[in-house]
Structure 1
Amino acid sequence: MDSSISITSQDMGRASKAHIERILHDHFLFRKLTDSQHNVLLDCMQRVEATPGDIVVQQGGEGDCFYVVGNGEFEVLAMQEEDGKEVTKVLHRYTADKLSSFGELALMYNKPLQSSVRAVTNGTLWALKREDFRGILMSEFSNIPSLKLLRSVQLFTRLTVLQLSQLADSLVEVSFADGQVIVDKDDDVSSLYIIQRGHVRLTVAADRLNSDSWDLLSTHGKQVQQSQESGNYVVEIDEGGHFGEWALIGETITFTASSVGDVICSTIAKEKFDLIVGSLPKPSQADSKLKSSLIPKENQHCADDDLPFRRVQLSDLEWKECIYAADCSEIGLVQIRGSDKMKSFKRFYIKRVNDLRKEKQVFQEKDMMKTLSKSACVPEVLCTCADQSYLGILLNCCLCCSLASILNAPLSESSARFYAASVVVALEELHREVYSLQRCFSRYSYARPIGISADS
């Protein structure tokens, strides 16, 4: 599949679901599925967005998905010999109006594709992976509600539907009264908890909140509310949320969990999880392997130079100089103690953030910065870290000053040309980030960086 094609796990609406059901109803591959299998199949289908010219599948490549055309137009291409020369011919066109689908053979066989499919217009496809289809055929899915709960856990997006089905059959339901301690800070946590009903409050000591803890606790999206109370970091998780998944990948976070109102959770222990799935790599390890595979060999030494900065604690950093300060944050330069390498660091004063009630915006800014792709004008986030006083974001750049600080006096013509050109280049580079920014704003609705004012 073309790397420019966007794949998401966005839920399908009623119209899309009805359209897909019409196509699958009489299809020979899906005719014998039970109602439960049919429902899981729909839940497994992923939305694929394509733009004109995108190659969905390539002739000669290995296909592993079945596709239903949601909207737009797609053409089937094949290289054929004509007058002793190979020419590309359009064999067929797929549209939603024709109830088109393709790729069914990829669900059954792992053979080179006989033709390519290319997007003619902007369009939407719904894709079903081969491994999910085979898992659906092998399962009866007697516990669909539990399966849906597990599919909401971000960590499990790497699992097949068969593995999720086996995990769903192993979930244990546990009830807690209002105010009851679910997990004590001294407990050895080894289970995932998914909240079926009620709310749970997690309390983490600020001095125990390292980079990994912060990232794991802030990935719960809309299901959490964060605040700082009495030197502790508090996370409120709503119904449908989850916690403790870090224990399944060997991460340790010391916390206390207590029920707010009557609470019902579905749980699975790490021991049972490992029997069904085996050990999962930590997200940071998986990301590192993926990143390494994308870096050309000759450039890998450049990435290695930043490794010491990717796993630091706040206590490892020495604050050297403040460049710009705002109402609850400041940006400055830091060094790892004992090193002469300088990086930029944005730190938020926890007490001030709490006084201004900007906890949610701080975490949204951190997530937005990590979501944006690396470019000349969007610094890479090397890591995040925290202690009792500060939450920090370490950036892979070395800022020298704010723009406002160099505009106090008229510039020479050459300086004015340089700064004007720099702004134009920055805007051109950021224009390429529009899609990523749109994703961030659609997710956070009103997300904006904290501490940005007119003179920054």
Structure 2
Amino acid sequence: MFCLDKCLQSIRRKLGMQPTRPRGVPSSTAGGRRKSVFAEAYNPEDDDDDDTQKVMHPKSDIQRARLAAAVKNIFLFRSLDVFQMQEVLDAMFERKVTPGESVIEQGDDGDNFYVIESGQYSIYVQPDGAAAPKKVGGYDSSGSFGELALMYNMPRAATIQADTNGSLWAMDRQTFRRIILKNAFKKRKMYEKLLESVPMLKTLEPYERMNLADALVPQTFNNGEIIIEQGDDADGMYFVEEGTVRIMRAEHNQEERQVSTVTKGGYLGELALLTNRPRAASAYAVGEVRLAFLDREAFERLLGPCMDVMKREMQQYEQELRKVFGTDVHIDDLK
């Protein structure tokens, strides 16, 4: 299962019912909905990209810019790399809606995943035995919907109706699974392997490393690009996937001097999180560097079992600083 499982399972429980088409909500004008697809089991390990025809819907430069703006904050896309995001943009197509139009209907098979560019939408659910659907929420010019049925081979759990004219961007079922679900599967496997090589994390149970892998977000930096800047507030820490990171520190407004380097399997940025202080040093990419970022909230939630190890390593960091600067540097003095 993937990082959204707990969230989606919660939704299923809240909406738990035998889905039926809501009465009293207008039927879709879109037509062409797919039926009887729930026997289509999807296994990411069996999916070979080389055997799959990639979907591409031509777009004008203006359309592509609008789409990029619409998807930039979509949670499902945040772990995709640059090339995968380009494939997402290629695969999505625009759908205009009018007031009263049902985009998806409860009980239908899942055909598309939708990202909202504009318009207002209402969410209706008809519980078992109810005479009419009930409005349970809505969207206003942002957000996404429709992933649940695609991820779990289940009928639509709700009806989404347009309240105003609007614009949506859609991705078909097969493309969604191939890009989003397979990427989530590959990402977990890749990061689990990376985390297994980090000595600090040896104290974690396998399921704890799995949760940590799901929380990591890939980031890429080019040669000389700054990753962390001394004095900044800490928003998270990094694990090095590929490449080398140079750690630099300036003392008393003097020129920066190199403290250490971090290579594949190493990590950086944890010090400020442990001490709740600003960054004690700057970090720069040496060549192209691929990192896995863990935000502050996930750090506090997932790395509790490793805190003692990290605090012991803080003392080693003090020793490195003393070698470089020749002063009696203490962690408590780093600001």
Q: Same fold (TM over 0.5)?
A: no
Normalised by the length of structure 2, the TM-score is 0.35
Q: Could you say which structure has the higher strand fraction?
A: 1
Length-normalised TM-score, structure 1: 0.26
